[in-house]
Homo-oligomer: A and B are copies of this chain.
């Protein structure tokens, strides 16, 4: 700031500043009290954002305390999730509404603050709308993700024609996370100039001071280089904060406010020695509150802060409604792929593209995101049909997933695709989306080892185990936290995508590179938890999913030729109702052989866990048994990793000869 500017600032009426300081101090005291009462939490990080929270929540943000679900509201994403006690304190002071839904909302009170982190409290340890705090759009606390949430919210607002600002409060140490820079690029690419990132630079991490790479001047230089309009301010100067926030939107760029803040602001014993992640003792609390009062007097903090935030127009989120697709044949014709009807062959990844276009026709909430591989995942078919609803995320999967979760929070139905291998970049982001109960569809193409020549750096083999771990978990409403769809042919792929669009929560679609023959009639129906019997036999039951179903069917034919008739099941989804498979197995020698093109922990584990409870049916598995490498064909790799046609044949023969 120039000396003149400082002088001007000093001349501004003291009342605004005075009131803001008074409110910040009041909220700091709430924060200290609630964390001491709770016995855990991060008061010092929260104190650092006191003045920023006051200016945003009492003055700047256009929102409706009585209706946090109003889609016309400005939004606040607290990327630095552990600072949340400050937001809770402000929201309680203001009496903002909390609750799981509009029908059971009630105003939060200051008395509620003591319940932070309790099992039955809406005030979870870190932000989480799913526990009843709808002021937030997404769970945060795993750092570096908030700016991506903000980007997703901003994209959704643009699609809905809503003018609103999205504020993301980001920590300085947190900005070490690569995802922050993925989001910074993405926001610029998509000209999301309504996004305002506010960096709270308190210069302390958990284990020590932040690196010189994360000092305010470094963050400012980086954000400038990334194309943002940057303002550096004192994060405890109410006037500076107001001025900076009011300048947001003036430039044809997104805004970054780099605010120098103080960890443990206002409380001597929390300063300078990196007081992190612990509450004060009861004695310390009294001393600290007295100290804050003294600080207030020094700052002339006497005025009452009034709530002057503007109100948004009333608005209502669209009610969810079922989406129904046309026939597969019509949908193929729609995208000019009639030839597949003659060939009776199409890769499941192409069928995904076909379905996505059909979904786009059926419902305007459908949006697609991709990470520079849309011509491999075939989300480019959707891009061709609905350019305004397709979002190129470039090679940055973490941001893609979290931006998708942000769009879901705003009522969109996002499909985010990349190679399944690269989806693994965003596992923690997917975890956070699940915690948010985001209605997110993730699509991994080129999954398993069937892509052959490209080698293991492009092959997803742990993905099924990871996603399956969530399929047996209740999301709190009786539904699985995740559904996996792993279709074997284009018709089932088409219908699985339709199912995904209608299921809430996380769905994961696993598609494959090679073309796959039609296995089903066009009018075949598929369901969550379902499976399909493709072949009947009396000696053994083969179960597979995805591309491997074709290999299993070939093996079954060869086995039949050798006198061993096998059931063959297509386990196209997890979680799976195993009873039809067990019933068939009981009529066919009581043995099941599961074949998968992934590491263990998938369908084999699913059936083994169910079977082991009774011991009635025996379950064996052939899963990828070694780290894969390149080879010319899918069959060669299958063979190399122990799941080739001959290996299925041999194992089946062994099992039926026992």
How far does the Cβ of A462 sit from chain B's closest Cβ, in whole Å? 4
Contact of A462 among B125, B466, B598, B621 (CB under 8 A): B466
Q: Are B372 and A208 in contact (CB under 8 A)?
A: yes
Q: Does A597 contact B (CB under 8 A)?
A: no
How far does the Cβ of A459 sit from chain B's closest Cβ, in whole Å? 9
Q: Which partner residue on chain B sits nearest A465 by CB separation?
A: B469
| B residues near A131, Cβ cutoff 8 Å | 629-630
Q: Does A435 contact B (CB under 8 A)?
A: yes
How far does the Cβ of A100 sit from chain B's closest Cβ, in whole Å? 12
Q: Which of A359-367, A421-429, A485-493 contacts B (4 or more CB under 8 A)?
A: A421-429
How far does the Cβ of A255 sit from chain B's closest Cβ, in whole Å? 17
Q: Are A609 and B604 in contact (CB under 8 A)?
A: yes
Q: Which of A69-77, A221-229, A295-303, A534-542 contacts B (4 or more CB under 8 A)?
A: A221-229
Q: Does A174 contact B (CB under 8 A)?
A: yes
Q: Are A185 and B206 in contact (CB under 8 A)?
A: no
Q: Which of A45-53, A308-316, A474-482 contacts B (4 or more CB under 8 A)?
A: A474-482
Q: Are A207 and B632 in contact (CB under 8 A)?
A: no
Q: Which of A390-398, A524-532, A551-559 contacts B (4 or more CB under 8 A)?
A: A390-398
- What does the 1/0 interface line of A596-619 toward B look like (CB < 8 Å)? 001111001101110111111111
Contact of A395 among B125, B144, B464 (CB under 8 A): B144
How far does the Cβ of A272 sit from chain B's closest Cβ, in whole Å? 17
Contact of A39 among B39, B130, B466, B632 (CB under 8 A): B632
Q: Are B395 and A626 in contact (CB under 8 A)?
A: no
Chain A: interface residue total (CB-CB under 8 A)? 125
Q: Are A640 and B119 in contact (CB under 8 A)?
A: yes
Q: Which of A7-15, A339-347, A450-458 contacts B (4 or more CB under 8 A)?
A: A450-458
Q: Does A587 contact B (CB under 8 A)?
A: no
| B residues near A399, Cβ cutoff 8 Å | 178
Q: Does A282 contact B (CB under 8 A)?
A: no
| B residues near A425, Cβ cutoff 8 Å | 142, 177, 398, 427-428
Contact of A222 among B206, B226, B472 (CB under 8 A): B226
Q: Are B627 and A620 in contact (CB under 8 A)?
A: no
Q: Are A142 and B469 in contact (CB under 8 A)?
A: no
Contact of A189 among B121, B144, B213, B453 (CB under 8 A): B213
| B residues near A434, Cβ cutoff 8 Å | 627
Q: Which of A105-113, A374-382, A560-568 contacts B (4 or more CB under 8 A)?
A: A374-382
Q: Are A615 and B615 in contact (CB under 8 A)?
A: yes
Bound CA–CA A209/B358 (angstroms): 27
How far does the Cβ of A496 sit from chain B's closest Cβ, in whole Å? 22
A residues 385-424 in Cβ contact with B at 8 Å: 392, 394-396, 398-399, 421-422, 424
| B residues near A599, Cβ cutoff 8 Å | 469-470, 472-473
Q: Are B474 and A207 in contact (CB under 8 A)?
A: no
How far does the Cβ of A634 sit from chain B's closest Cβ, in whole Å? 12
Q: Does A431 contact B (CB under 8 A)?
A: yes
Q: Does A623 contact B (CB under 8 A)?
A: yes
> A139-B456, A428-B422 given as contacts; is B605 within 8 A of A375 (CB)?
no
Q: Does A331 contact B (CB under 8 A)?
A: no
Bound CA–CA A609/B3 (angstroms): 73
Q: Does A137 contact B (CB under 8 A)?
A: no
| B residues near A598, Cβ cutoff 8 Å | 469
Q: Does A646 contact B (CB under 8 A)?
A: no
Q: Are B601 and A465 in contact (CB under 8 A)?
A: yes
Q: Does A195 contact B (CB under 8 A)?
A: no
Q: Does A432 contact B (CB under 8 A)?
A: yes
Q: Are A141 and B178 in contact (CB under 8 A)?
A: no
Q: Are B455 and A392 in contact (CB under 8 A)?
A: no
* A–B pairs, 15, beta carbons within 8 Å: A119-B637, A124-B456, A124-B629, A125-B457, A141-B455, A142-B422, A177-B425, A210-B394, A214-B394, A222-B222, A431-B462, A434-B627, A475-B626, A481-B627, A612-B619
Binding site for B on A (CB under 8 A): 38-41, 81, 117-119, 121, 124-126, 128, 130-131, 139-144, 173-174, 176-182, 185, 188-189, 205-208, 210-214, 218, 221-222, 224-227, 370, 372-376, 380, 392, 394-396, 398-399, 421-422, 424-425, 427-428, 431-432, 434-435, 437, 453-458, 461-462, 464-466, 468-470, 472-476, 481, 598-601, 604-605, 607-609, 611-621, 623-627, 629-632, 636-637, 640
Nearest 5 pairs of A and B residues by beta carbon: A178-B178, A141-B457, A125-B455, A465-B469, A615-B615
